[in-house]
Amino acid sequence: MKVVGSGAMAAIDRRAQEEFGFPGIVLLENAGLKSYLLLKERLWGGEPPEGLAVFAVGKGNNGGDALVIARQCFLDGKRDLAVVCAAQADEVQTRMCERLGIPIHRWDEGAAREAVGAAATLFDGITGTGIAGALREPAASLVAAINQAPGLKVAIDVPSGIGDSYRPGFPAVRADVTLTMGLPKLSLYLPHARPHCGDIWVVPIGFPPQLVEAEELPGEMLDWSAARRDLPDLPPDAYKNRRGTLAIFGGAAGTTGAAVLAASAAARSRAGLISLFVEPAIYPVVASRLTSVMAKPWNPLDPPLGAIEPGGFSALLVGPGWGQSEDRLPWLGALLACGLPGVLDADGLNLLASHPELAPGGLGGRWILTPHPGEFARLSGVERTVLMEDPLPHVLALSRRLDAVVVLKSHVSFVAQPDGRYWILDGMNSALGTGGSGDLLAGIIAGFLATGARAAAAARAGVYVHHRVGRKAYDELGWFAAEELLPFIAREARLDEPTSR
């Protein structure tokens, strides 16, 4: 499913009306009615909501959508309703609600404040994605009252206060559920905005597919179909070399676990043969922990690539627990330039950040970089605080500059390729915030890459599988250690059509 910014969504709405003849009032009616039916089915067990339902509305389409939901509640037999207006709302929808007898209060009335505080369910339709900057009065105080109220909060399209320019500290509704209309909105996945949104449900309101599925829309949510797309099939008669051979350079004194985890994850992610190259000092420890993965002693003081034959491998993974000593630099430069596709992670990223001359002409579109925000800041020169306010432009810029697929991993992850295409993974799973989780991700992606997947396809599949693994493991185990995820990787890397989540 495509994901869009506010400008692109406004253009889709306008084109639906002008080019396809869809009246705006029909789109608004569809949005409200389908939202009500979705809530009734998924949240309320087929009945209208219990207790007082309050609809906070403003002057935009979100307010109109909320009024349609209020009317549908009334027509479905619910009578304990109230509308609270932060501004003059849609005239047609307001008039219909008034004539039905639904109480309508201005926010400056005492009855409005009482209703918000007493509501069992609060619908937020105050502002939409077009907001620029922070909320102003009276919307700001209404939002504060909604957040203080104990009722369940349902945001229409976006939580009020969330827009493309949202920044930490701006007032915004903290919703339990967000019903976003037509397509997911980029502003919902700003890292600081995402915790305000709760569960995000997309409401299809009847936009023409020519608009919402258009090829020129560069962004997409990362789901099963996007993850599975473009992965090569492995025939039943494939043997280990045909499944892909991966060389991993990682591990150092004190960080052997990172390399072992990455190699173990890759071995469970389709690749047929894994070789882990480690320094002689740690070779006995690493070899004793691995059975299927071949641990091989590697001396960083040897001439680069002198100890291996790159033509014997289909992909590389460089960096998990590798250390950042100067003797790695000749090897890193040679590995980046050897012509194989690869994944660069952890210490490999930090070495490249401090020595950009190792990739003077970029990485040829073959490499996948997997930084967390701190590593990304070092690579790009963008301060971490600035990055996390709105990551996507910076991720796209780094992908273009290095001619590489970039995966920015966080509670919302971004995958970008040099031509401007990107994917967003809605993670929101703190259980994955455990030591070794990133090493597993690098290994999963590298495993897919070794089987012949192109860089963007391997990155998408790896990020999605890692997400699914974290969900399944948390459901079954609760809090987990990274090594406990390995059996889940083996199952999820099949990328069978998921039955849930």
- pLDDT at res. 306: 59
Q: What average pLDDT does range 376-400 have in this prediction?
A: 98
User: Under DSSP, is residue 397 helix (H, G, I), strand (E, B) or coil?
Assistant: helix
Q: pLDDT at residue 500 above 60?
A: no
Confirm if 334 and 264 have CB atoms less than 8 A apart: no
Q: Is the pTM of this model over 0.85?
A: yes
Tens of pLDDT, residue by residue over 31-65, are: 999 999 999 999 999 999 999 999 999 998 999 99
Rounded Cα distance, 393 and 350, in Å: 21
Q: What average pLDDT does range 364-392 have in this prediction?
A: 97
**First and final C-alpha spacing in the chain:** 15
Q: pLDDT at residue 242 above 90?
A: no
Confirm if 151 and 171 have CB atoms less than 8 A apart: no
Report percent pLDDT > 70 for the chain. 98
6-217: in CATH 3.40.50.10260? yes
What confidence tier does 283 reach under pLDDT thresholds 50, 70, 90? very high
Short-list 372, 276, 370, 270, CA closest to 322: 276
Tens of pLDDT, residue by residue over 156-177, are: 999 999 999 999 999 999 999 9
What confidence tier does 287 reach under pLDDT thresholds 50, 70, 90? very high
Q: pLDDT at residue 499 above 90?
A: no
- pLDDT at res. 240: 79
Tens of pLDDT, residue by residue over 396-409, are: 999 999 999 999 99
Rounded Cα distance, 159 and 147, in Å: 11
Rounded Cα distance, 155 and 177, in Å: 6
Q: pLDDT at residue 236 above 90?
A: no
Q: pLDDT at residue 13 above 90?
A: yes
Q: What average pLDDT does range 289-312 have in this prediction?
A: 83
Q: What average pLDDT does range 91-120 have in this prediction?
A: 96
Average pLDDT, the chain: 95
Any idea where the domains of the chain sit in the sequence? 6-217, 224-492
- pLDDT at res. 305: 72
Q: pLDDT at residue 237 above 80?
A: no
Tens of pLDDT, residue by residue over 179-235, are: 999 999 999 999 999 999 999 999 999 999 999 999 999 999 999 999 999 998 887
Q: pLDDT at residue 238 above 80?
A: no
Q: What average pLDDT does range 71-90 have in this prediction?
A: 95
For residues 420-448, one letter each, b for 16 or more C-beta atoms within 10 angstroms of the residue's C-beta and e for the rest, the string is ebbbbbbbbbebbebebbbbbbbbbbbbb
H-run or E-run covering 273: strand 273-278
Classify 224-492 by CATH class.
Answer: alpha beta
Of the listed ranges 286-295, 302-311, 447-456, the one predicted with least confidence: 302-311
CA distances from 46 to 37, 41, 70, 76, 201 (A): 9, 5, 16, 11, 17
Tens of pLDDT, residue by residue over 305-359, are: 755 665 689 999 999 999 999 999 999 999 999 999 999 999 999 999 999 999 9
Tens of pLDDT, residue by residue over 467-492, are: 999 999 999 999 999 999 999 999 99
